[in-house]
């Protein structure tokens, strides 16, 4: 019973922390604020029982994808989505962040590919390969 209550509390608290974006500028500012240094401090946050920055990044990517679903993706937004995904890949080998934005990528592949050219060539290769393979899997119904 305690475990069920704990899980329920965690799920509800995740919704409270999720960002609500009202404009494309909000998305750009929030995503641009995330850095690799944020994740490096997560070990201390675990000890202090604080919310991890990587979880905040996941929440922001998910909220951004939901907002963008109702608007148009700009190249600036696409590159920020890609950049934050790359940061999360450093500590999350499951590439969950790519799953969070895959629907937006699927509808706007040309924008994402063009935006990726602004990243380091190595990073560009990684993000495009992950998004391409996730998109292929989702289209084949292998979710």
Predicted confidence (pLDDT) per residue in 79-112, tens digit: 999 999 999 999 898 999 999 999 999 999 999 9
Of 102, 110, 113, 101, nearest to 139 (Cα)? 102
Give Cβ neighbours of residue 128 (< 8 Å, ≥ 6 apart). 112, 113, 116
Q: Is the whole model's pTM more than 0.95, yes or no?
A: no
The CA distance from 103 to 118, in Å, is 21
Q: Give ∠ CA 30-32-36 in degrees, rounded to 5.
A: 110
The CA distance from 34 to 38, in Å, is 7
pLDDT reported for residue 77: 96
- As a whole number, mean pLDDT of residues 13-37 equals 79
Percent of the chain with pLDDT over 90: 63
Confidence of residue 19 (pLDDT cuts 50, 70, 90): low
Mapped onto helix, strand or coil, the DSSP state of residue 70 is: coil
């Amino acid at each position: 019973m305690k475990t069920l209550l704990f899980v329920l509390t965690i799920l509800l608290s995740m919704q409270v922390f999720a960002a609500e974006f009202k404009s494309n500028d909000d998305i750009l500012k929030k995503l641009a604020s995330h850095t690799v240094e944020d994740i490096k401090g997560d070990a201390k946050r675990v000890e202090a029982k604080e919310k991890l920055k990587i979880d905040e990044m996941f929440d922001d990517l998910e909220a951004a994808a939901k907002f963008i679903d109702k608007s148009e993706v700009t190249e600036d937004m696409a590159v920020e989505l890609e950049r934050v995904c790359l940061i999360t890949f450093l500590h999350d080998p499951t590439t969950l962040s790519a799953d969070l934005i895959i629907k937006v990528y699927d509808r706007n592949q040309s924008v994402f590919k063009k935006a990726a050219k602004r990243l380091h060539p190595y990073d560009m290769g990684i993000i495009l390969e992950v998004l391409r393979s996730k998109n292929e899997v989702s289209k084949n119904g292998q979710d």
